[in-house]
Amino acid sequence: MPTKVDMEKIVSLCKRRGFIFPSSDIYGGLASCWDYGPMGVELKRNVKEAWWKAMVQDRDDVVGLDTSIMMHPGVWAASGHIDSFTDPLVECKSCHLRWRADVVEGNKCPKCGGELTEPRMFNLMFKTFMGPVEEEASVVYLRPETAQGIFVNFENVVTTSRKKLPLGIAQIGKSFRNEITPGNFIFRTREFEHMELEYFVKPGTDEKWLDYWVKKRFDWYVKMGVKRENLRLRQHGKDELAHYAKDCHDVEYRFPMGWSELEGIANRGDFDLTQHARCSGKDLSYYDAEAGDKYVPYVIEPSAGVDRSVLAFMIDAYDEEEVEKEKRTVLHFHHSLAPIKVAVLPLSRNEKLTPVAKEVFKQLCPSFVTDYDDSQSIGRRYRRQDEIGTPFCVTIDFESLEDKQVTIRDRDSLAQIRVPIEGLEKVIEAKLKGEAFDASALWATRQK
Ligand code: GAP
């Protein structure tokens, strides 16, 4: 079953509704760079918060970390990124466009048909200079993964957290890769955000923990509302494994351009800690006092992209439906991901309705990200909220002035209920947590 939405529709909705804009838009944009607008920034924060809650706060075996983007250059020599974080690149001898050798067939340029050069290896790390002198000695790299910040802090964290293994260290932050072929909107960009967990385990238990995390991560996407039939697992072939990996499984999503990686869960063995111990001269082994055992831990790494997850959540939530003979575009986001949780909509911009509606807005604001909209017809305002995925609209009408009640409209079922203004936040809170997580059940009972 192909996805029902193409990427152009998502890009256009993102721009129209303030999710994502081209970077430096007024200068014509900058290739593969994107800015998150008012809706996008909320969505992205919600994705990161959901991940952090599941991976750090809901567990007692994982702690968080936030490390520097620029690190000692020795880190990247030890990690193998200077030698091995490369893609084979070919260049067209006529138009000089460069291509990843593994994405072109034959030796003709896909753009102009010109002859291509032999492949040469191209390092994907961005290089810059630290301090005022541009010389080899001051070269630093922008990190291509957040993982290395975790490995070099392993000893600091174990000592200060006083936790025993298995122990996970989680980090969310920007990474940079000078991708040869970025594209597909925010799927592959040169600047993106990682959500990474390095889970340190006793050697010999690594395969068990790899299985555990593969399942856990697949289930997380389902729990966050992604349709199971749009997800699958794929184990890497030996020839695809990254230089540090013993084994790796991708969670793949059915993107409009086909099944593609959403997240990788790798068994990095003891590669990183061994390399950093050797290159820094610091002992990075772990002493298990209870067992009287000393070893270099193995690492299981679930590594996801924030931006790629945002894209998958948007595509999966997207729907076009006919309601009362009118087309509506709707994002059926999981409630916890929706940028705006509730919109307060007075029936019209009327001098009697406005003060009541403003009071309701003030009442809800401290508890939820709330929108207030009194422009245009109520129908158009519902459509706008549907398009940004707002789970609930609260409508204030003339009856509200008499009976002190308002109408709550459900984005998915379109069901409307009338509830007292007093205690409204409790009702919305319960509904946000409640049965609507199973959106399919609601769609089935939808009133058309
Ligand atoms: N530390 C391991 C690591 O970085 P990866 O498979 O290269 O592994 C993990 O990246 C995830 O990061 C990917 O599954 C994807 O979601 C995201 N990612 C990687 N490169 C990206 C890029 N250029 N643009 C956007 N997301 C990217």
Shortest-distance Cα residue to atom 14 of ligand 1: 263
**Span from the CA of 417 to the centroid of ligand 1 (angstroms):** 44
Confirm or reject: Cβ of 308 under 6 Å from ligand 1. Answer: yes
Reported as a single tens digit per residue, the pLDDT across 197-245 is 999 999 999 999 999 999 999 999 999 999 999 999 999 999 999 999 9
Would you state the structure tokens that stand for residue 197, as one six-digit string?
């967990």
**Span from the CA of 238 to the centroid of ligand 1 (angstroms):** 19
Per-residue pLDDT, 324: 81
Residue 186 has pLDDT above 60, yes or no: yes
Shortest-distance Cα residue to atom 22 of ligand 1: 188
The C-alpha atoms of residue 64 and residue 335 are separated, in whole angstroms, by 25
Reported as a single tens digit per residue, the pLDDT across 326-369 is 899 999 999 999 999 999 999 999 999 999 999 999 999 999 99
CA distances to 93, 176, 322, 383 from 416, rounded to whole Å, are 64, 46, 18, 15
Of 20-24, 95-99, 167-171, 403-407, the range with the lowest mean pLDDT is 95-99
Q: What percent of the chain has pLDDT over 70?
A: 96
Residue 133 has pLDDT above 90, yes or no: no
Confirm or reject: Cβ of 397 under 6 Å from ligand 1. Answer: no
Per-residue pLDDT, 438: 39
User: Residue 51: which residues within 8 A CB-CB, separation 6 or more?
Assistant: 172, 195, 220, 304, 306, 309
Cis peptide bond N-terminal to 166, omega within 30: yes
Please give the residue that has the higher pLDDT: either 76 or 137. 76
Quick check: helix, strand or coil at residue 411? Answer: coil
**Span from the CA of 443 to the centroid of ligand 1 (angstroms):** 34
User: Residue 393: which residues within 8 A CB-CB, separation 6 or more?
Assistant: 342, 343, 344, 345, 381, 382, 385, 408, 409, 411
Query: Residue 310's Cα: distance from chain center in Å?
Result: 5
Confirm or reject: Cβ of 332 under 6 Å from ligand 1. Answer: no
Per-residue pLDDT, 443: 40
CB 282 within 8 A of CB 155: yes
Per-residue pLDDT, 181: 87
Quick check: helix, strand or coil at residue 16? Answer: helix
Give residue 325's pLDDT band: very low, low, confident or very high (50, 70, 90).
confident
pTM for this predicted structure: 0.94
Per-residue pLDDT, 434: 79
**Span from the CA of 245 to the centroid of ligand 1 (angstroms):** 14
Give residue 273's pLDDT band: very low, low, confident or very high (50, 70, 90).
very high
Residue 445 has pLDDT above 80, yes or no: no
The C-alpha atoms of residue 145 and residue 194 are separated, in whole angstroms, by 7
Confirm or reject: Cβ of 309 under 6 Å from ligand 1. Answer: no
Among 261, 301, 311, 315, the mutation site with the greatest number of ligand 1 atoms within 8 A of its Cβ is 261
Q: What is the mean pLDDT of residues 111-137?
A: 92
Reported as a single tens digit per residue, the pLDDT across 62-110 is 999 999 999 999 999 999 999 999 989 999 999 999 998 988 989 999 9
CA distances to 68, 89, 124 from 142, rounded to whole Å, are 10, 21, 10
Reported as a single tens digit per residue, the pLDDT across 278-313 is 999 999 999 999 899 999 999 999 999 999 999 999
**Span from the CA of 262 to the centroid of ligand 1 (angstroms):** 8
Confirm or reject: Cβ of 254 under 6 Å from ligand 1. Answer: no
